[in-house]
Amino acid sequence: MSEVANADTAAMRAQLLAAVDAQRERLAAQTAIDEAQGSLSPASVEALRACGALRMKLPTALGGLEADLVTQMAVLERLATINPAAAWCAMVGATSLAMPGAFLPDAGIARMFPNGQIPLGAIVVTPSGLATPVDGGYRVNGRWGFASGVRHAEWISAITRVERTPGAAPEIHLLVFPAGDCQILDNWQVLGLKGTGSCDIVVKDLFVPLDMSVAVTAPPRRGGALYQIPLPAFVAYEHAGFALGLAQRMLDELVNILQTKARGYAPGGSRSADRASVQRLIGHCEMRLRAARALAIAENEQIWAMVSAGQTPSAEMLCAVRSAAVYATEVSVEVAQSVFRHAGASAVYEGHLMQRLLRDLNVAAQHYMVADTAYEQLGRARLGLPDVQAMA
C-alpha cells in the first residue's frame, strides 16, 4: 500500500477510536441497563451511530467508510472494553449493512437506504430458512437463531436456502426484509452477552421481492477491496478484536483491584500486588494478549494488502486468518480465567464487572467462527491435503 493510503488509514483509525472514546461515558452508563433488559437501550444504539461503528463496513457510495480490517478490529476491541453488548451489536450491525450495501441491486438499495438514510440492521447467517421462487420474488418460511440486535433493527439480512427444484441442491442467497415482517421469539435467556438481545426470529409465508435478494456467490455491485474479501476473512477479525478487548479490560481491572487488595484471614495481610506470583501473572497475561493481537493484526494486514492489490487470498491464508481469531479467543478466555481467580471473592457477585466480563467472553467463545475446526483446516492446507474448507 502507498504512503498516502497508509496515512489515510491511520487518520481514519484515529478518528474512529476518538469517536468511540467520546461515547465512552454514555456507553459505560448503559451496560447494566442493556444487560437487565436483554437488549441495547436507545442510548446505546445512538452512541454506536454517533461514533461511526455501524457504518465503518458500509460502502462509501452509501455513506459508509469501507475501513480496513485492522481499523475495524481496533474499533471493536475498544468498544468491547467499554460495553461488550454494544460492541457485539456493532459487529453484527455493521456486517448487516455492509453485505446488502455492497451486493444488492440498485432497486433494493433504494428500498433499504431511502434518500441516502442509513438504517439499523441485524443479520442471521445460518441458512435455516427456505425460500421458494414465485412470480417477482420468493416466498420465505423459516426460523433463524442468534439475531443479535434484532430488537432495534429496521432490516434483517438473512442467509437462506432457495429451492428451485424439489430434491436438487438448494442455492444459498442473502435475502433482506423489514424487521417488522418477522416474529421475534423471546428466548434470549443466557449466561452472557445478555444485552445483545440475540433472539430467534421466525417468518411465515413472507414475500421477498427479487431486488431484495442476491446469491452469495454474486460479485459486489459497489464498493472497493473490502468486498473482494471472502469468508471467513470478511468477519474473522471482528471476533479477534472483541475477545481481546474483553480480556484486556479484565486484566486492566485486576491491576486496579490489586493496588489496594490484601489477602489473608488475619488483619494486616500482605498486599497482593507484592506477591511475585501475582506480578508474574500480570506480566505473562499482558504478553499473551499482545502476542495474540499482533498475530491477528499481521494476518489481517496480509489479507488486506492482497485484495487491495487485486489478488485473491489462498485457502491456506483464509484458514490462517480464521485460526488467528480462534487463537485470540482461546488466549483471551485463558487470560480471563486466570485474572478472575485473582480478583477475589467479591468478583463472584452479580453486578461485579469481572464476573460479567467473564460470562460475556465465554459466550462469545461459543461462536462457530472461532471453533477449533479452523486449526484442522489450516493443518490440512499445510499438509497439502485436498478439500480445504476455511469455513468448515
pLDDT, tens digit (0-9, with 9 covering 90-100), for 172-201? 999 999 999 999 999 999 999 999 999 999
Do 346 and 369 share a structural domain?
yes
Give the pLDDT confidence score for residue 273 in this predicted structure.
Answer: 85
Global pTM reads: 0.95
Backbone φ, ψ for residue 59 (5° rounding): -55, 145
Residue 252 shares a structural domain with residue 285: yes
Q: Identify the pLDDT of residue 269.
A: 66
Q: Determine what percent of the chain is predicted with pLDDT higher than 90.
A: 91
CATH number reported for the structural domain that contains residue 83 in this entry: 1.10.540.10
Residues 126 and 107 in one domain: no
DSSP code per residue over 308-342: HTT----HHHHHHHHHHHHHHHHHHHHHHHHHHHT
Asked if 240 and 254 sit in the same domain, the reply is yes
Q: Looking at the domain assignment, is residue 388 inside a domain?
A: no
Residues 51 and 88 reside in one and the same domain: yes
If asked whether residues 151 and 189 sit together in one domain, one would say yes
pLDDT value of residue 272: 82
Domain total of the chain: 3
Mean pLDDT of 325-345: 96
Q: Domain for residue 70, yes or no?
A: yes
Mark whether 67 and 155 lie in a shared domain.
no
Residue 223 inside a domain? The answer is no
- In a domain? residue 220: no
Query: Is residue 6 pLDDT above 80, yes or no?
Result: no
pLDDT value at residue 215 = 97
**pLDDT, the chain, mean:** 95
Q: Are residues 193 and 290 in the same domain?
A: no
268 pLDDT higher than 70: no
Residues 83 and 18 both lie in one domain: yes
Q: Is the pLDDT of residue 226 over 90?
A: yes
Residue 94 within a domain: yes
The CATH number of whichever domain residue 207 belongs to comes to 2.40.110.10
Answer yes or no: is 387 within a domain.
Answer: no
Share of the chain above pLDDT 70, in %: 96
- Tell me the pLDDT band of 161, cut-offs 50, 70 and 90: very high
Tell me the C-alpha distance between 3 and 1, whole Å.
7
Closest CA to 296 of 214, 374, 212: 374
On whether both 351 and 233 belong to a single domain, the answer is yes
Residues 292 and 191 in one domain: no
Whether the predicted pLDDT of 166 surpasses 90: no
Three-state DSSP at 155 gives strand
Q: pLDDT per residue over 43-93, tens digit each?
A: 999 999 999 999 999 999 999 999 999 999 999 999 999 999 999 999 999
Inform me whether the pLDDT recorded for 324 exceeds 70: yes
Among 35, 231, 57, residue whose Cα is nearest residue 127: 231
Distance of CA 19 to the CA centre of its chain: 19
Q: What CATH number does residue 257 fall under?
A: 1.20.140.10
In this predicted structure, the answer to whether residue 260 has a pLDDT above a threshold of 90 is no
In a domain, 319, yes or no: yes
Indicate if 233 and 206 belong to the same structural domain: no
377: enclosing H helix or E strand: helix 373-382
Closest by CA position to 89, among listed 122, 41, 50, 124: 122
- The domain containing residue 344 runs over which residues? 229-262+271-382
Give the pLDDT score at 184: 98
- For residues 136-154, average pLDDT: 98
Give the end of a domain, one of 96, 115, 134: 115
Coil, strand, or helix at residue 184? strand
Q: What 3-state DSSP class applies to 206?
A: strand
Domain boundary among 81, 115, 149: 115
Q: Quick check: is 222 in a domain?
A: no
- Lowest average pLDDT, out of 1-15, 323-337, 339-353, goes to 1-15
pLDDT higher for 169 or 363?
363
Contact 207, 137 (CB under 8 A): yes
Domain boundary (115, 139, 165) is at 115
φ, ψ of residue 132 to 5 degrees: the values are: -110, 125
Residue 264: the pLDDT is 57
pLDDT grade for 1, boundaries at 50, 70 and 90: very low
Residue 2's pLDDT is: 33
